[in-house]
Amino acid sequence: MLCLHPLPTAGGMMDSHIFRKAANRLPALAGIEVLRFNTRGTTSEAGTSEGTFDNGGAEKFDVEAAINFAFDELNAQTLWVVGWSFGTDLALKHARDPRVAGLILLSPPLRTSEQSDLDFWAADGRPIIALIPEFDDYLRPAAAKERFEVIKQMQLIAVNDAKHLWVGEPSVYRVLSEITNILAPERLPLATEWEEIIS
């Protein structure tokens, strides 16, 4: 899975907690490989990426480069794009490569996505699953159902008691379980404890 992080001007980055925990847990627990990167001008513990933040415009080239890297360098057989907040807008606008299997959207605000982006996915038909927190700051379940109505194949999952940032282990476990249910359902339920065997 390819992770598109939250808004960098609000602290979003490749190490934002859901994606860091996904990268630390899902390969071992579910056999899911996780690719993370910083979009242009974003800072994390890995450093600051080249370029300047462009509010989702020039980030098109970052998303396309990451998709190409997944297929051309990592030999991905199947690639799902997982966007979180700002990353959901990047996914809807720029993850249109026909090799992408589908989209998973966490807390989509529909901040920069336009009707034409939704129309594209409606016509395209690839699967889109969105996790909508009950207490989201930007788009709650009832509003999400209305805003995404044009995408008939879209599955909206309302998550009770959750907020936009998915803070707390129950929220993290729910997100990682929903991702696993899509990508590797045979690996559910996810373990909450495990011992790594070192040979």
* Domain segments of the chain as ranges: 2-184
Q: Which fold has domain 2-184?
A: Rossmann fold (3.40.50)
Q: Which long-range contacts (CB under 8 A, 24 or more apart) does 70-73 make?
A: 70/2, 70/35, 71/99
Q: What mean pLDDT comes out for the span 9-20?
A: 97
Predicted confidence band of residue 196 (pLDDT cuts 50, 70, 90): low
- Cis peptide leading into residue 189 (ω within 30°): yes
* Residue 57: predicted pLDDT: 98
Q: What mean pLDDT comes out for the span 102-107?
A: 98
> CB of 130 within 8 A of CB of 147?
no
What is d(CA 80, CA 101) in angstroms, rounded to the nearest whole number?
5
For residue 188, give both structure tokens.
């559910």
What is d(CA 184, CA 182) in angstroms, rounded to the nearest whole number?
6
